[in-house]
Copies of this chain bind each other. A is one copy, B any other.
Amino acid sequence: MALSQQAVELANGPNLCVVSTLLPSGLIQTQPLWVDSDGEHILINTEIHRKKFKNLEVDPRVTVTILVKDDPFLWSEVRGRVVEIVRGQEARDHIDALAKKYIGVDEYPLPIETERAMLKVAAEQSFDSSG
C-alpha cells in the first residue's frame, strides 16, 4: 500500500512524529522523533543502542504518527513495518539533513554515542485525520 499524500507532505514538513514499537515485555513504547519521507517510505533515524532500534530488530512492526504543532486536528498515522535499515555514511547524512530541517544547522550537533541508523518504514495502513 502506498503512503497517503498527506502523510508524505506532513513528514516532509517541519513536524515531529511519534514512533511506536513493541517492547520485549509486550508493552508499547511511544516517543517523539524527527521524521521525513522519500515519497515511498517514512524515514526515521535513531542510534543502534536505543531501545526503539532494538525493539525493531526483533519485531519490525512500527507506527509513525506525524503531528502538526499548531493544529491538533491535523495528523497522519502510518502503520506498518520497517523494511530496510541503513547504517554508515548514508544514515549520518540523513541525520544531518534532519538537523538542517529542524534546527537549521548543517551537521547534527550532538555526539553520536554508537552509530546512526536510518529506518525505512513501509505503510500497511495509512490513516489521515479528517480535520
Binds B, one of A37-45, A61-69, A85-93: A61-69
Cβ contact within 8 Å between B65 and A18: yes
Closest 10 CB pairs of A and B: A28-B63, A27-B79, A30-B65, A20-B20, A20-B28, A20-B30, A30-B63, A18-B18, A16-B72, A69-B69
Taking a contact as CB atoms under 8 Å apart, the answer to whether B62 and A28 are in contact is yes
Instruction: Tell me the number of copies of this protein.
Output: 2
In the complex, whether A29 has a CB less than 8 A from a CB of chain B is: yes
Chain B nearest Cβ from A70, distance in angstroms: 8
Is the CB–CB distance between B31 and A61 below 8 Å? no
Contacts of A119 on B, CB cut-off 8 Å?
A: none
Q: Does the CB pair B20–A67 fall under 8 Å?
A: no
Separation in Å of the A23 CB from the closest CB of chain B? 8
Determine if A75 is an interface residue (Cβ-Cβ < 8 Å): yes
Please indicate the chain B residues that have their CB under 8 angstroms from the CB of A61 in the complex: 26-28
Q: Separation in Å of the A53 CB from the closest CB of chain B?
A: 16
